[in-house]
Amino acid sequence: MNDLVMDPDLPHRVLAAALEVHKHLGPGLTREAYEECLCIELREMEVPFVRGEKLRFQYRGKQVENAARLDLLVEGVLLVQVVAREEIKSVDLAGLETLLRLGGYREGMMVNFDVTTLRKGVHRVTLKRRVGEVEGAG
């Protein structure tokens, strides 16, 4: 589905924006507040993104829409999910993998702002398979 190639520097630019947000706000707010401020930072950095994109995919030959809302799709290739939780569990990262697979994306980041040190709250997920190999699954 998505044949765009990601700039290898893109995750670092998103991380820089997230670090700036966390530096000013710290932990303890809602995920919506962090998402809004991250959008402000990305706009200031002139990093193109789409917010709230609907996840669309095929299930048993039928189009499924509105299955989920993607927080941020940066430059059309990097899915960024914003969370504010005490801890990230393996099921959260598995959920991000599912969004990547169904959306046809290869790389994603989950950024948890509810931590004292943001670098401990950033989780990157990269799908190993090519997108075309999973389209028929389901």
Using the structure block, give the residue that is written with the tokens 């989780």: 123
Name the residue type at position 49.
F
pLDDT at 37 over 80: yes
Residue range 41-58: mean pLDDT, rounded? 95
pLDDT at 1 over 60: no
Confidence of residue 65 (pLDDT cuts 50, 70, 90): confident
Quote the pLDDT of residue 4. 77
Confidence of residue 128 (pLDDT cuts 50, 70, 90): confident
Listing DSSP states for 63-117 in one string gives EE-SS-EEEEEETTTEEEEEE--S---HHHHHHHHHHHHHHT-SEEEEEE-SSSS
Residue range 111-126: mean pLDDT, rounded? 96
Which residue has better confidence, 89 or 5? 89
Name the residue type at position 32.
E
Model's pTM, two decimal places? 0.88
- Percent of the chain past pLDDT 90, that is, above it, reads 83
Mean pLDDT of the chain: 91
pLDDT at 67 over 90: no
pLDDT, tens digit, for every residue of 5-18?
A: 888 899 999 999 99
